[in-house]
Amino acid sequence: MKPVTVPFFISHQGCPHTCVFCDQRTISGAGGALPAHVEILSKIAAWRSGAGGRPVEVAFFGGSFTALPEMIQDDLLAPLQPLLACGEISSVRLSTRPDCIDPERVLWLKNHGVRTIELGVQSMDDVVLDASGRGHTAAASEAAIRCIKRQGVLAGAQLMPGLPGDTPHSSLMSLERVISAGADFVRIYPTIVIRGTELARRYGAGEYFPLSLEQGVTLCKLLLHRALRAALPVIRIGLQADEGLNADTVLAGCWHPSLGQLVSSGLYGDLVGNYVAEGDSVEVFCHPSRLSDVAGHKRSNLERLAGRGVRIRLATDMTLDKKEIMIKRDNGYFRYNLVNDLKYSINEVYQQCARIH
């Protein structure tokens, strides 16, 4: 059963760097103050009351938890220990920098209920990391993932395609390297330009060209498909829409409140599109949970195929795998799998994302 996650944002706390893309207070929608014990306990109690019996985990997002002074780390985790002991919460997750991880710290965190550590990897290309002011190397990210895994803790990697110096090839290579390092899951956050950041200055000066929404969706489809082939969960695509991200704060880049659905529905649209021809009239079956993906965001897949003269009637079939579709033609039924029967060419992605800088 998927847990209910109670989030606490430690906005930019502990991080020794200000990366070119970062305005953490805007992204998290929170100020710089750390949550007090009473705030932590009252919020957990409120969320538990609406959890409906699901397990509850506590998450510290937004800053670099392990870069905080040890006394503060201990203070944030202290009120959780009685709740962990009695089972009122099941686990703790946190985010941090790859260069702020070592075996002793991971073991200490594990002993205090931390079961998941997410790393702000962003890229596994040292040129991109340097151009973005990250202050760590790709090797540090690989070492951190392996260090976390050795202690029996889940390791997640956050990737940011479209950073300065990035290309489709380096984005794909970054994903391949976190797969090889043993990451348990990834988040994919295409780069956006937030007002007040160094990246905003570069964008305004014509020194940086961000991914457009269309380019970002194209690239993320490639990354998501590769992750599916590796059985690597992608738990989120795109920053979550909240009060901090809007038309006033986001100047440019691959930003959409439903970006994840644009990407996943794009995969299903490409799968259907590869196996129908102009003028076809077919019935397409999918698992009920994938009906909106096959139809496309605001029925965009159906409209695009209609533009090719393809007439489709959608139906659901509980016996299909969630990654499958089945197309009914005059001569029978044909199954296609999103992982095995959909191919992407890196050269085609390059052509569609020609202005990634």
Specify the CATH number for the domain of residue 116: 3.20.20.70
pLDDT at residue 9, as a whole number: 87
- Together in a domain, 178 and 85: yes
pLDDT at 24 over 60: no
- What mean pLDDT do residues 346-354 have? 72
pLDDT at residue 62, as a whole number: 79
pTM of the model: 0.91
| Amino acid at residue number 268 | Y
pLDDT band at 357 (very low <50, low <70, confident <90, very high): very low
pLDDT at residue 1, as a whole number: 80
Structure tokens at 9: 């944002």
pLDDT at residue 179, as a whole number: 98
Give the C-alpha separation, 121 to 171, whole Å.
Answer: 12
Boundary of a domain, candidates 262, 295, 328? 262
- What mean pLDDT do residues 71-89 have? 96
What element of type H or E holds 321? none
Note down the domain range covering 186. 4-262
* Residue of 330 and 103 predicted with greater confidence: 103
Exposure pattern of 179-215 as b/e (b: 16+ CB <10 Å)? bebebbbbbbbbbbbbeebbbbebbeeeebebbbeeb
pLDDT band at 63 (very low <50, low <70, confident <90, very high): confident
In a domain, 322, yes or no: yes
Mean pLDDT over each residue of the chain, to the nearest integer: 91
- Together in a domain, 187 and 302: no
* 305-310 LR contacts (CB < 8 Å, sep 24+): 305/269, 305/272, 305/273, 305/276, 308/273, 308/276, 308/278, 309/278, 309/279, 309/280, 310/276, 310/277, 310/278, 310/279, 310/280, 310/281, 310/282
Q: Are strands 281-286 and 324-329 parallel, antiparallel or unpaired?
A: antiparallel
Quick: pLDDT tens for 187-197: 999 999 999 89
In a domain, 346, yes or no: no
pLDDT at residue 28, as a whole number: 47
In a domain, 47, yes or no: yes
pLDDT at residue 356, as a whole number: 47
pLDDT at residue 190, as a whole number: 96
- Together in a domain, 311 and 224: no
- What mean pLDDT do residues 221-236 have? 96
Question: Three-state SS for 226?
Answer: helix
- Together in a domain, 207 and 307: no
pLDDT at 16 over 80: no
Number of domains forming the structure of the chain: 2
In a domain, 345, yes or no: no
pLDDT at residue 15, as a whole number: 66
Boundary of a domain, candidates 235, 262, 289? 262
- What mean pLDDT do residues 262-276 have? 97
- Together in a domain, 80 and 109: yes
Give the C-alpha separation, 174 to 137, whole Å.
Answer: 12
- Together in a domain, 220 and 299: no
In the beta sheet, which residues pair with residue 326?
Answer: 285, 335
pLDDT at residue 354, as a whole number: 62
pLDDT at residue 33, as a whole number: 76
In a domain, 352, yes or no: no
pLDDT at residue 34, as a whole number: 87
- Together in a domain, 191 and 280: no
Boundary of a domain, candidates 227, 262, 297? 262
- Together in a domain, 190 and 231: yes
Asked if residue 187 lies in contact with residue 128, where contact means CB atoms within 8 angstroms, the answer is no
* Residue of 78 and 53 predicted with greater confidence: 78
Task: Tokens 């997640």: give the residue.
Answer: 156
- Together in a domain, 55 and 148: yes
In a domain, 210, yes or no: yes
Beginning with the edge strand found earlier in the chain, give each strand of the sheet holding 154-159 in spatial order.
4-9, 56-61, 91-96, 114-122, 154-159, 185-188, 234-237
pLDDT at residue 246, as a whole number: 80
Give the C-alpha separation, 301 to 320, whole Å.
Answer: 20
- What mean pLDDT do residues 28-53 have? 85
* Residue of 349 and 208 predicted with greater confidence: 208
Quick: pLDDT tens for 26-38: 444 444 578 999 9
DSSP state of 66: G
- What mean pLDDT do residues 243-269 have? 90
pLDDT at 245 over 60: yes
Question: Three-state SS for 53?
Answer: coil
Structure tokens at 13: 């706390």
| Amino acid at residue number 5 | T
Out of 32-41, 260-269, 327-336, 341-350, pick the least confident: 341-350
- Together in a domain, 318 and 206: no
- What mean pLDDT do residues 94-113 have? 96
- Together in a domain, 239 and 319: no
Exposure pattern of 313-331 as b/e (b: 16+ CB <10 Å)? ebeeeeebeebbbbbeeee
pLDDT at residue 301, as a whole number: 97
* Residue of 61 and 246 predicted with greater confidence: 61
In a domain, 13, yes or no: yes
Asked if residue 325 lies in contact with residue 295, where contact means CB atoms within 8 angstroms, the answer is no
Give the C-alpha separation, 54 to 1, whole Å.
Answer: 7
Give the C-alpha separation, 298 to 8, whole Å.
Answer: 33
pLDDT at 241 over 80: no
Quick: pLDDT tens for 109-164: 999 999 999 999 999 999 999 999 888 999 999 999 999 999 999 999 999 999 99
In a domain, 353, yes or no: no
Half-sphere exposure of 245 (CA within 13 A, CB side): 20
Asked if residue 269 lies in contact with residue 296, where contact means CB atoms within 8 angstroms, the answer is yes
pLDDT at 51 over 80: yes
Give the C-alpha separation, 285 to 313, whole Å.
Answer: 9
Task: Tokens 């003269």: give the residue.
Answer: 309
- Together in a domain, 26 and 141: yes
